[in-house]
Amino acid sequence: MIPINVPVIGEEEKREVLKVLESCLLTHKTGEGPYVKRFEAAFKSYVGCREAVALNSGTAALHSALLSLGVKPGDEVIVPSFTFTSTAEVVLLAGATPVFADIEGETYCVNPESIKRNLTERTKAIIPVHLFGLPAEMDRIIEIARENDLKVISDSAQAHGAEYKGKKIGSMADISCFSFYATKNMTCGEGGMCTTNSEEIAEIIRMIRSHGERKAYETVTLGHNYRLSEVLAAIGYIQTLKLPSLLEKRRRNARVLTEELENVEGIKTPYVPNHCKHAFYLYTVRVRNRKTRDRLVAELKLKGVGASIYYEKPLHTLKFFRERCKLNHELVETEEASKTVLQLPIHPKVSDEQIKEIAEAVKSIMKSFKGFP
């Protein structure tokens, strides 16, 4: 089976991990060990921002970001529903209320008009998600935030290396949060990073990362243990250096797959606006209805293609979130996308031959569906 995503780990990562193990400094008491610092420096230089703070997950990064901005009980935070659990979960962890906004049908990212429809006196922040690796409409979202005195936390967990109008994702929002979970475009197994251009915010996130301490054993605010270990930071550091080449292969695979599939009847290939560079964490195609989608995925699996469905149950449809979040209007595009999208493997380990195999499998299955509702 060609898996949907796998980590690409080489000799360099193994060598650096061994160095950490031999040094016996497996972690640092304030989270600021030498490899964490190296990882942060490399990552902020890649993104093109002033500050980067490494944490032990993308969820920890999002949660710390909300806390650093003072989001608290009674506040509302606008999030898409078509996303991974963490985007809304962290708002609940901060004691605030997630408010679900709809997406744009073509990009699958949050729709700025829907953000506007959900603004209230209580709104404190917006969390756009650069879903599947495609940037959300950042200029418009930042404009809405400025007009309404709100903060923007960009959920960049899937968008390492994505670009919006020539700027890297991670350099535009008040705070951007990345994940280095094992399937992501770059990984250290589990890990996260907050990037920001504010020294003050970075300083608060550093304190939250390690028990609210300004220095060891001096707690000044409520914090957590969100420190990243030195072992994982060593892997993250090497992966940051490799990110451009990992992305190049993803983008090449995506381009070839689009060339193969763009004229196949019933298949809509990924839309990439001219002002965006997609990071292709997931290559997402769309078909006419749920029945076709589910059959296509099942048959692709029988042919050895690890096709997947991301976000079949948008968060607002789950009882847990419905009981705790606000839904002010119907999420028409979210519901439609959740029924009709599927993902195909294009990660860096997918060979040129396998891309052709995937394309051929999709074409022959779609052909056999002719006349299918």
Ligand X SMILES: Cc1ncc(COP(=O)(O)O)c(C=O)c1O
Interface residues with ligand X (CB under 6 A) are 57-59, 83-84, 86-87, 129, 155, 157-158, 179, 181, 192
- Residue 83 vs 123, nearer CB to ligand X: 83
What is the spatial distance between Cα 183 and Cα 13, in angstroms, rounded to a whole number? 16
Alpha-helical (H) ranges within 262-330 are 290-302, 319-322
What is the spatial distance between Cα 308 and Cα 300, in angstroms, rounded to a whole number? 10
Choose the catalytic residue: 124, 168, 184, 277. 184
- Residue 68 vs 292, nearer CB to ligand X: 68
- Using Cβ positions, the residue closest to ligand X within the complex turns out to be 58
DSSP state of 103: B
- Residue 176 vs 179, nearer CB to ligand X: 179
- In the complex, the smallest distance separating the C-beta of residue 158 from ligand X, rounded to whole angstroms, is 5
Please give, one letter per residue, the 3-state secondary structure of 70-84.
CCCCCCEEEEECCCC
Residues in the chain: 373
Say if residue 245 is exposed, middle or buried (CB neighbours under 10 Å; 0-12, 13-18, 19+).
Answer: exposed
Active site residue 184: yes
What is the Cα gyration radius of the chain? 21
- In the complex, the smallest distance separating the C-beta of residue 103 from ligand X, rounded to whole angstroms, is 13
- Residue 193 vs 261, nearer CB to ligand X: 193
- Residue 56 vs 253, nearer CB to ligand X: 56
- In the complex, the smallest distance separating the C-beta of residue 188 from ligand X, rounded to whole angstroms, is 10
- Residue 325 vs 359, nearer CB to ligand X: 325
* Range 107-129 burial, b when 16+ CB lie within 10 A, else e: bbbbbbebbeebbeeebbbbbbb
CA torsion 129→130→131→133, rounded to 10°? -150
Distances (CA, A) of 333 to 83, 109, 336, 342: 13, 10, 5, 15
What is the spatial distance between Cα 221 and Cα 236, in angstroms, rounded to a whole number? 28
- In the complex, the smallest distance separating the C-beta of residue 64 from ligand X, rounded to whole angstroms, is 12
- In the complex, the smallest distance separating the C-beta of residue 361 from ligand X, rounded to whole angstroms, is 26
- In the complex, the smallest distance separating the C-beta of residue 55 from ligand X, rounded to whole angstroms, is 9
What is the spatial distance between Cα 91 and Cα 4, in angstroms, rounded to a whole number? 29
Among all residues, which ones are annotated catalytic? 184
